[in-house]
Structures are given as structure tokens and as C-alpha cells.
Structure 1
Amino acid sequence: MLTLYSYPTLFGVADNNGYGLKVFAFLKLAGVPFRHEHIFDASKAPRGQLPYIVDGDDTVGDSESILAYVTEKYRVTIDGGLSQGQRAQNLLITRMLDDLYWVMSYSRWKDERYWPLFRDALMREHHALTEEGLAKAKEFNAQRYYYQGIGRYDADAAMARGLADLNALATLIPARGYVHGATPGSIDAGIYGFIANIYFYEIDTPLKQFVVAHDNIVRHCRSIHEAVS
């Protein structure tokens, strides 16, 4: 059976990282049986990043590569009726979610307004973690942010970038149904992966305030959450 390796839970979602939760939701929506193993150590993962899957002799990393692999091998059809234009829109939304990821991560590990609350929540839910270990992870992430670019923003400027991403999503998510119609597709799983890690996040960041204020985003998130729980 296919095994998904991804980060552990936090605040009631199956993975506290948007990419792992995206893959989890996709597998659930697609009806593909899998085991879910929660880990912190990504050293055995392709490119040293989570999530990844092991399926027989195949090991696949990167969330988009995983979705492509699973779609082909298991003949997943949830995106089967999409037009070329809709597939292009999916790619653009996916790339925007990549941008939102960095802001979300920054808000947890670098923004000193929220970092202590995030640290304490991790330690409260995952007792094997230590304050020293998380401090090292914080330092490592600060280096990642600097070289990626978001780390050169001050906190409010970084947050503004994420709010702009969310504002674009708010115009794309319909009041009813899903991005491309009455049934959810892969892009809905992708959006859920990130929005659920904002909406169910118990720390009141501007990102959460924006999501909570938009009924269409909340409805979409809760609908996918119920479908995959």
C-alpha cells in the first residue's frame, strides 16, 4: 500500500504543512488507499523535503510530482473533465500557493509576534520536541527565508504579501461548489492544504483574520475538511 510521509498534525489538521495536507486531501478525494506516517526528520526524503510517498519500489517527492504520479498510476479522474484553460488556472493558483507558503512559514518561525505561541503549541502537542531543538529549526528557517527573499521583508511587509495572495483566492473561490464546478478537484485539495493551516490555526494572525472574514473561503475549507476527515 502507498505510504505518505509528512509532518505531524497541529490544531486538528492532518499535517501542519500545506504541501503534506494537500497530498493527504488529494489522496482522500481521489479514493486512493494509503497509510499516513507522520515524521519530523526529512533526511530520507527526496531532496530532503516533506512530503514524499513510497509506493512499492517507487519513492516520489514534491507534492505536484506526487499528484502526477498517483493520477497516472491509479488512473485518478477527478481532474479528467478540465479544459486547457482550467488546467492553466490550476497551475497559476498552485504557483501562488507556493508564494503563500513562505508567508505562512515566516509567520510561524520568524515573526516574533507569533513565534512563541507557535513554539509552545508544537511542544504542547508533540512532547518529543524540545525548546532547544525548535530554536535550531528557527535559525535554519531564518536562513531559508533570507535566501528565498521573504526573510529580507519586515514582518508587516511579509504579511501584506500573503494577504494579497489570499485576496486573489477570495475572488476565485465560488460561494457554492468548488473552483471548477460541483465536485472538488486537485486544485481544491491544494487550496485546502494551505487554507486549513490558516483557518484551524489557533493563533490569531492577520492571515487567519482575513480567512475568517470571507465566508466563501471558510465554506470551501470546511467542506473539504469534512470530506477528507
Structure 2
Amino acid sequence: MLTLLTFPSAFGLFSASPFCVKTALMLQRAGQQWQRSDMLDPRKMPHQKLPVLRTPERLVPDSDLIREWLEAQGADFDSGLSDLQKAQSRALIRMAEEHLYFHVVQDRWANDDVWPILRDTFFTVIPALIRKPVSNSIRKSVVKGLAFQGVSRFSPAERQDRLERDLEAISAYLWQSPYLMGENPTSADMSVGPMLAAMRATPSDTPLTRRIKQDKLLNSYIDRMEQAIPLS
């Protein structure tokens, strides 16, 4: 049986990581028999990140590489799509994973209201005596990465404007059909849906969580994705 090495459930989601959720959705959609194995420290994993799929032959890291592996086994996540739709799907995936994701990280790790909740959720395995300095060191590293990536260099208003343009693009698709590419979930939905769900689930009242929760179209889409491919 396949085993998905994933960050644990958190904030009412299958995993705190939208990439782990994406991979679980692909496994379900592909009709694979699989089980989850939760972990908090991925440093011994390929790429030192999660998700990782344990197959009979090897460990497959990264949600995109896992998708390729599943497709090599016969999965078709974009069945019926034209070449143009597949290209649009790829662009939506990149927008979600290379831009929206960093707004999620900013909203969680750089927010002083959210940080104590994250610390108590993700770092419980660290002995209490050293938990605070160790977790603070990891937080500093994540925040430094946000500055390197660039999202934290913008003012809150600038970040909101950049985010709004992406959400408007997603909404333009959803006004046309229940899912991004039509009547059924495809690969784009398995990336975008979990990213929006992660935004909504951040355990504090932030401008980002409010933006998603107050949007009927996006909220309905998140709920529809959870019902279409249930993970529990």
C-alpha cells in the first residue's frame, strides 16, 4: 500500500500544508489504496520537505513529482480538457503554489496573533525547556525566507492588492462553472482549492481569513471541493 508522509491535521483540515492536502486529493482521485503517516520533522526526507509518497520502490518527494508518478500509473487528472485548458490549469497551479502560498505563510508565521497558536500546534514534540528558543529560531528562518521571496517586503495594502488580483482571476473561472475547468474537479482544483481552504482556516481573525470567509463564491467552492473528494 502507498503511504503519504504528511504534516498532521490542523485547523480542521486534513493537513496544515495545502501541498499535503493536494497530494491526498490526487491519491483519492486516482483511486489508489493509501494510508497516511504523520510527521512534523521532514529533515530526513528528500528535499527536506513534505509531502512525500512512499511507494514499493522508492520515496517520491514533492507534490508535482508525486503527480507525475501517479500519472505514470494511469491517473488522468485533466481528462477531457483541451490543450488550452491544460495550459490555463498549469498557470492557475503556479499562481496558487508560487504566489498565494506565500500569503498563507505570511499570514501564519509573521503574524504575532497567529504565531502562539502555530507554536503550540507544531512544536509540541520539542521538550518544553527548549521549545520557545527552538521554535522562535525556526520562525525567524521562515520570516527571512518570506523576505527573500519578496512577499513580506510589501506593505499590507500592497499585499492585499496583489492577492486581490489573483482571487479575482480565480473567481472569473468560478462564475462560469462549479470548478475551475468545468463540471468536475481537475488538477487545478486540487491545488487552488486547498490553498483557499488554508487561507480560510488560519486560526485567527486576519484580513486574509476575513476576505475568504466573506466571499460567498470562494466559500462555496472550498466546501464543494471538500465534498467532491472527501478525505475522511
Task: Give TM-score scaled by structure 2 length.
Answer: 0.87
Alignment-derived partner of residue 114 in structure 2: 114
Residue 228 of structure 1, aligned match among 198, 223, 230: 230
- Once the two structures are superposed, residues 84-142 of structure 1 have per-residue CA deviations (whole angstroms, 9 ceiling, x without a partner) of 0011011110111120111110111113353344435x26xx74354333212211102
Residues 25-174 of structure 1: matches in 2 within 5 Å? 25-73=25-73, 75-97=74-96, 98-120=98-120, 122=121, 127-128=124-125, 130-174=131-175
Distance 1:162 1:23 in 2: 24
Kept after mapping to 1: 8 A contact 2:5/2:51: yes
Post-superposition offset of 1:156: 4.1
Post-superposition offset of 1:77: 2.7
Kept after mapping to 2: 8 A contact 1:103/1:159: no
Change (3 A) 1:88 1:176: closer
Task: Give TM-score scaled by structure 1 length.
Answer: 0.88
Distance 1:30 1:192 in 2: 17
Change (3 A) 1:115 1:139: same
Moved more, 152-161 or 97-106: 152-161
Change (3 A) 1:176 1:212: farther
Query: What is the DSSP-based 3-state SS (H/G/I as helix, E as strand, rest coil) of the residue aligned with 2:183?
Result: coil
Q: Which amino acid aligns with 2:125?
A: A
Distance 1:115 1:155 in 2: 18
Q: CA RMSD in A?
A: 2.1
Query: What is the DSSP-based 3-state SS (H/G/I as helix, E as strand, rest coil) of the residue aligned with 1:35?
Result: strand
What is the identity percentage for the equivalent residue pairs of Structure 1 and Structure 2?
24
Structure 2: stretches of 5+ with no match in the other structure: none
